[in-house]
Amino acid sequence: MAFWYNVSTGQVEEDGSTDPKGDLMGPYGTHEEAQNALATAREKTEKWDAEDRAYEEGED
C-alpha cells in the first residue's frame, strides 16, 4: 500500500482513495513518511542548495 500527501488539504491519503485532482506528493511507504512529506522536501532542498553553492564556489 502506498500513501500520498495532499498539499491542498494537508491530509495523508491511501492508494485507491486519492483525489485525482489533488496536489499530491508521493508515493510513500508509510503513513508517517507521507505526513512528513513537506519537511522531507525542505530538508532535501536545503541539502541540494548547499551542494550547489559548494560546487559553484569550487568553480571560481
- Residue 7: pLDDT over 60: yes
Instruction: Provide the number of structural domains found in the chain.
Output: 1
Rounded to the nearest integer, the mean pLDDT of the chain is: 92
Which three three-digit cell numbers place residue 60? 571560481
Confidence of residue 16 (pLDDT cuts 50, 70, 90): confident
Task: Provide the grid cell at 52.
Answer: 550547489
Q: Is the pLDDT of residue 31 over 60?
A: yes
What's the predicted TM-score (pTM) here? 0.78
Q: What is the DSSP letter of 12?
A: E
Q: Containing domain of residue 20, as a range?
A: 3-59
How far apart (Å, rounded) are the C-alpha atoms in residues 25 and 16? 15
